[in-house]
Structure 1
Amino acid sequence: MNAIRPFTLDIPEADLADLAARLDRTRWPEAATVDDWTQGTPLAALRELVAYWRNGYDWRRCEARLNALGQFVTEIDGLDIHFLHKPSSRSDAVPLLLTHGWPGSVVEFLGVIDELTEPAVADTQAFHVIAPSLPGYGFSAKPGATGWGVERIAQAWTELMQRLEYRRWMAQGGDWGAAVTMAIGQLAPSECRGIHLNMPIGRPGPDDMQSKDPKVLKALQRLGFYQEWDSGYSKQQSTRPQTIGYGLVDSPSALAAWMLEKVHYWTDNQGSAWDVLTMDQVLDDVMLYWLPATGASAARLYWESFGKFGDGTVSIPAGASAFPGEILPAPREWVERTLTNLVYWNDLDKGGHFAAWEQPELFVSELRACVAAMP
């Protein structure tokens, strides 16, 4: 039952033909009554992406890349967990547990794994990379009962690292990955050296509402925008995930629209997501929701844990990298209320919510700097 089994992707051609047929049969709505993104993903932007998906995108390229990295599955607490595992050849490499979020997947890390495991500069820190797919995401199994919130996932990830026989490892994450990584920090397994977040989690205190600090004012403004204009997806997924799931599992165009809106708003771009990501990168991610039909199961994590996102404090060594395009920026003083043993902090000058995806070089350098600061 504790066996780690190799996993090879080989999606049947029939599934890809079905996708093509569904894209061809998309029933399009009329365009929005505004010429921007304020009513959601614009018709023209989605039609452009769907046209490329239908006529230019090559899934087999992504499939080959994932297979070449090394994919595995192991059953933990009754659920098959899929994960990438790329050990370094370096004896001094640090085991690194990377956890993605929504609407992300393990493909967020494809641009950093090679440099993390086999650095181009020989004397820089190397890592053994372990990147699991959250339960109900990607090619991990879908929970058939309630209870798979971030605390249980943190316990499962700790079990995964034990099965891989890693000692003195580090956990890292953003979005749901940040919540899971914080939960690992709260468990404080003896083997965990520390954690790193690229979505630092912190909440304002009573005095912050009267603050004149520009960083605090920016954080409060972004929090207000998120609550009023950007959080509809989370309200739907945290209250009625099954309802939205029907559309996300049945219609590839609906799935792409649901995800593209967040990629547009949450990347640090100059007006278009394609400023920082390619259509291939985004569609690789969409395919990890479409092929295993995880639109509903991924949304259920919000039902399980959204109301407790980032609760509690972490006392083991922690580091945080604050990227300027983060959806909910938290000033250092807020984060220190949550990460009470903050040994590393850095404010970056570019990058957004999907740090590894958008800024792979900065992401890698931040992890190396954080490890260097860990006791």
Structure 2
Amino acid sequence: ALLLHSAIALGQTQPPAKPDLATIRPFKMHVPDGVLIDLRRRLAEANWPDQLPGTTWEYGADIKKVQELADYWENRYDWRLHEAQINRFDQFTTEIDGQQIYFIHQRSPRPGAIPLLLIHGWPGSVLEFLALIEPLTDPKDSHSPAFDVIVPSLPGFGFSGLTTTRGWGPQRMAKALVVLMDCLGYSKYGIQGGDWGSLIARDMAYQAPAHVIGLHLNLITVDPPNSEAVAEMSDAERKRFSWFDRGESSFFSLQAAEPQTLAYALTDSPVGWLAWMIDKFQLLTDNNGDFLTAVDRDTFLTEATLYWVTGTVGSAMRIYRENRLTGEETAPRPRLETPVAYADFPREVAVPPFRWITRRYNVVQKTEMPKGGHFAALEQPDLLLADIRKFFAKVDRKQIEIAP
């Protein structure tokens, strides 16, 4: 009975139907002019709140920073420039489990390339991996491994469009991506993920252990194994792990409780959406007091614009609620035996002690990064790239044991 319950809890049920190859359609981004004109109009007509004199970030997003970026977004930011840069890559859409899935699929010119799935989180998108695609697919160093890179937009995010049914939590998303990789003809592949991407990668390894050769994760979440383990934590460990207890995770609680209520405001006001994103990047990046020292301004605004022009501000937040409603994170799980590389960035949030992680994951490579925060692919792409190469070179050369 316990084994049956665990199998159900881990999502090992009938997979979604595999799409026919004919249903994979080439795609190019082109946002209608009217959508961009409407965005600029809404920015110009924003109704601004007050802010207490002498305050900056103490009550939330600093009005000075929000106004600065809103002005740039309205008057100087050029979506078409970034749209053209994205369109250099091979993009496609298909339908899996009744949901459109948009993805970048960039093949390496080198034979024998390792298939690598890159999975984003919230408020991220496929855009955070753009700087990695070319060096992964076509490395200058002949000794570096080459990859076929697949970067999907999660259901409910970006050009994957709105989710229209309940239940699109991490496990259902994982099932859909397992089907996608099968449809693309990859029987063995690696996965990289942070934020929700790390949970979806983990679930894919549980659901398809014969296909996933390794996970490279820059976020790993585990619960305390017991009350004694909590009591044994050092002060430094407690500080890194206690993010949810410090009042900095209010957005997580709100989006897990009532994303629909929040969506009315953020879907109607680009300034509201901008402020919501600014607050998260200020909180979660490794910065010197201004998140734009960690993330490029145009890159950040391209992320914000992608959510806005696709109308997925509200649907993307639902992943938090779906995860809570399905009870996926409280389900019993065996130890994951798929080889895992853990890239530990110093400004990551809710980091558990490493000894807890190794109880639940088969960590064969751990790298303590010198700098970087929650958005590793945006903040420190070179560090992340080197670590991905190091790990999957070992997997490809069979230097570590691959799960059967």
| TM, length-normalised to structure 2 | 0.88
- Quick check: 1:297 aligned with 2:315? yes
Cα deviation for residue 211 of structure 1 reads: 3.0
One of 43, 52, 60 as aligned partner of 2:63: 43
What is the one-letter code of the residue matched to 1:347? Answer: E
One of 117, 130, 133 as aligned partner of 1:113: 133
One of 81, 88, 96 as aligned partner of 1:61: 81
- Quick check: 1:235 aligned with 2:257? no
- Quick check: 1:267 aligned with 2:285? yes
Alignment of 1:266-345 (within 5 A): 266-306=284-324, 308-309=328-329, 312=333, 313-339=335-361, 341-345=362-366
Q: What number of residue pairs does the alignment pair up?
A: 371
| Map of 1:254 onto structure 2 | 272
What is the one-letter code of the residue matched to 2:153? Answer: S
5+ long unaligned stretches in structure 2: 1-18, 396-400
What is the one-letter code of the residue matched to 1:269? Answer: N
Cα deviation for residue 201 of structure 1 reads: 2.1
| Deviation by residue 1:284-310 (Cα, 9 ceiling, x = unmatched) | 110111001111101111011146448
* Alpha-carbon distance change, 129 to 321 in structure 1, aligned in 2, over 3 angstroms: same
Higher mean Cα deviation, 322-331 or 42-51?
322-331
**Secondary structure class of the residue paired with 2:242:** helix
Alignment of 1:81-120 (within 5 A): 81-120=101-140
- Quick check: 1:162 aligned with 2:186? no
What is the one-letter code of the residue matched to 1:99? Answer: I
Cα deviation for residue 113 of structure 1 reads: 1.1
| Map of 1:352 onto structure 2 | 373
- Check whether the contact 1:136–1:298 (CA below 8 A) recurs between aligned residues: yes
- Check whether the contact 2:240–2:352 (CA below 8 A) recurs between aligned residues: no
**Secondary structure class of the residue paired with 2:159:** coil
| Deviation by residue 1:305-349 (Cα, 9 ceiling, x = unmatched) | 14644863422222211110101222321211221x221111111
Name the CA distance, whole Å, in 2 between partners of 1:270 and 1:354: 15
- Check whether the contact 2:242–2:350 (CA below 8 A) recurs between aligned residues: no
- Quick check: 1:178 aligned with 2:198? yes
Name the CA distance, whole Å, in 2 between partners of 1:303 and 1:293: 18
Name the CA distance, whole Å, in 2 between partners of 1:255 and 1:356: 22
| Map of 1:201 onto structure 2 | 221
| Map of 2:97 onto structure 1 | 77
Cα deviation for residue 210 of structure 1 reads: 3.1
Name the CA distance, whole Å, in 1 between partners of 2:247 and 2:52: 16
- Check whether the contact 1:125–1:368 (CA below 8 A) recurs between aligned residues: yes
Higher mean Cα deviation, 56-65 or 195-204?
195-204
- Check whether the contact 1:201–1:310 (CA below 8 A) recurs between aligned residues: no
Cα deviation for residue 240 of structure 1 reads: 0.7
Name the CA distance, whole Å, in 2 between partners of 1:165 and 1:290: 33
Name the CA distance, whole Å, in 2 between partners of 1:338 and 1:221: 21
Cα deviation for residue 225 of structure 1 reads: 3.8
- Check whether the contact 2:243–2:350 (CA below 8 A) recurs between aligned residues: no
Cα deviation for residue 123 of structure 1 reads: 1.4
What is the one-letter code of the residue matched to 2:341? Answer: G
5+ long unaligned stretches in structure 1: none
| Map of 2:398 onto structure 1 | none
Cα deviation for residue 34 of structure 1 reads: 5.4
| Map of 2:3 onto structure 1 | none
**Secondary structure class of the residue paired with 2:223:** coil
What is the one-letter code of the residue matched to 1:204? Answer: P
* Alpha-carbon distance change, 310 to 177 in structure 1, aligned in 2, over 3 angstroms: farther
Name the CA distance, whole Å, in 1 between partners of 2:343 and 2:216: 8
- Check whether the contact 1:62–1:284 (CA below 8 A) recurs between aligned residues: yes
Cα deviation for residue 33 of structure 1 reads: 5.3
What is the one-letter code of the residue matched to 1:260? Answer: I
| TM, length-normalised to structure 1 | 0.95
| Map of 2:14 onto structure 1 | none
| Map of 1:147 onto structure 2 | 167
**Secondary structure class of the residue paired with 1:315:** strand
| Deviation by residue 1:137-190 (Cα, 9 ceiling, x = unmatched) | 011032211111111111110100011101320011100001101111111342
- Check whether the contact 1:202–1:337 (CA below 8 A) recurs between aligned residues: no
What is the one-letter code of the residue matched to 2:386? Answer: S
Cα deviation for residue 109 of structure 1 reads: 0.5
